Amino acid sequence: MMKNILTNKCPHCGIGRIFKETNIYFNFRRPQMYGQCPTCGFNYQKELGFFFGAMYVSYVLTVAQGIATFLMASPFFEERFDLGIVGVIAVVLVLLSSFNMRLSRILWIYLFKEYRK
Ligand SMILES: [Zn+2]
């Protein structure tokens, strides 16, 4: 399942893609999503506003990445809470924002893959 999540695959058949672009990692274009799986027809958007909840997943990912960046960057600064770290964290989070948006939607689809309306 982790492999399917990280390779942008449908939770139902594991073959069709969720996002139209093949590279979900370093792609800064506006995400293009399929409404349904092109292979099995699995409906990705369960109801109107379904992906509003993916915002919470994105928030958790962003906080975790911010903390990880702080822990990795802090040895390179003399003071424990140097303001320069904030700039480093901001740059990392901006670079990861497009990836987080895609990953959070994929995780949200996988969380509710059993839910049928
Ligand atoms: Zn499918």
For the chain, which residues make up each domain, given as ranges? 2-111
Percent of the chain at pLDDT exceeding 90:
60
Measured distance CA(65)–CA(59) in Å, rounded: 10
Better-predicted residue by pLDDT, 9 or 114: 9
- How far away, in angstroms, is 51 Cα from ligand 1 center? 18
Kindly state the average pLDDT of the residues 6-24.
89
Cβ neighbour number for residue 62 with a 10 Å cutoff = 15
Q: What average pLDDT does range 73-92 have in this prediction? A: 88
- For ligand 1, the distance from its centroid to the CA atom of residue 43, given in whole angstroms, is 9
Distance 70 CA to ligand 1 centre (A): 38
User: For residue 15, what pLDDT is reported?
Assistant: 94
Taking residues 77-86, what's their average pLDDT? 84
**CA R_g for the chain:** 17
pLDDT value, residue 117: 56
Taking every pair of Cα atoms in the chain, the longest distance, rounded to a whole number of angstroms, is 55
Beta strands in 1-117 (DSSP E): none
CA of 14 to the centre of ligand 1 (A): 6
Average pLDDT over residues 46-66: 94
